[in-house]
Amino acid sequence: MKPETIARLLSLNSTFYQSFGPAFAKTRLRIQPGVRRALNEWMPQSGRWLDLGCGSGALGVEWAKSGRQGLYLGIDSSAALLAEARLETHAIAPPGLELRYEQGDLAGDWAVGCEACFDGVLCFAALHHLPGDELRARVAQQVRVLLPEGGLFIHSNWQFQHSPKLLARVQPWQRIGLTDADVQPGDTLLDWRYALPGQPEQVGLRYVHRFTPEELAHLASLTGFEVVATYESDGQGGRLGHYEVWRAA
């Protein structure tokens, strides 16, 4: 993918979350069932964990309520979503838990200053917003550097192809001045609609990459991980999210 196309898609998503951050946060007040399963099965009661693309703090709230100890650090590029996260988790961290949020761009220098090592890194519904094979591999490699051998990288990606409603929101690339030849297989432009009572509907556009299992397996192998578990969850039918647990090799 050409650098100018990557920049165009990153700018599109940045504009979306800047414009619709508070409204989007209202649709993410609770963690997804698949995230809760990962929380219960793979994340111990103590440790140092990094949450990439933490959004408006729904997982941070659950982390604090569960009485976990250690460190929970959430990173997100959206100042609006981070403001919601800080508001939601203010003064609820139990003794023994350091819970904090920092602004960082997964496509940029988010890893600069991160303290190695973490016991695990989380990335729910964020990796699929990164355009281009090279950028996704770079982020996975950065995660690997922050983990000791045996550390976990747990992430989820959207499977919108299982929802007729979401498929109906797929838009042509021409809406943002691109063509099919500019993007890669699985790259998709989706709209998002929101309306406050008594106000006209607002429409935003987002870039999403639809991963295949083979693509994720290759990414894991390429960046120093082994896949130890996969499962589907979330949404109607329980198939809108594809979850993977990777172990640092």
In tens, the pLDDT along 164-217 reads 999 999 999 999 999 999 999 999 999 988 766 666 777 889 999 999 999 999
Quickly list H helices, the chain: 3-25, 33-42, 58-65, 79-89, 133-145, 164-167, 213-222
What are the extents of the domains in the chain? 3-248
Tens-place pLDDT, residues 5-50:
999 999 999 988 888 766 666 666 689 999 999 999 999 999 999 9
Residues 198, 203, 206: CA angle, nearest 5 degrees: 150
* pLDDT tier at 78, thresholds 50, 70, 90: confident
Of 183, 204, 207, which is closest to residue 193 (Cα–Cα)?
Answer: 204
- Name, in order, each residue with C-beta under 8 angstroms of 221's C-beta and a sequence gap of 6 or more: none
Higher pLDDT, 123 or 197: 123
pLDDT of residue 21: 66
Other CB atoms within a 10 A radius of the CB of residue 234 amount to: 23
Pick the CATH number of 3-248 from 3.20.20.70, 1.10.1200.10, 3.60.20.30, 3.40.50.150: 3.40.50.150
Residue 162 gets which letter from DSSP? G
pLDDT of residue 194: 76
Other CB atoms within a 10 A radius of the CB of residue 110 amount to: 20
pTM for this predicted structure: 0.92
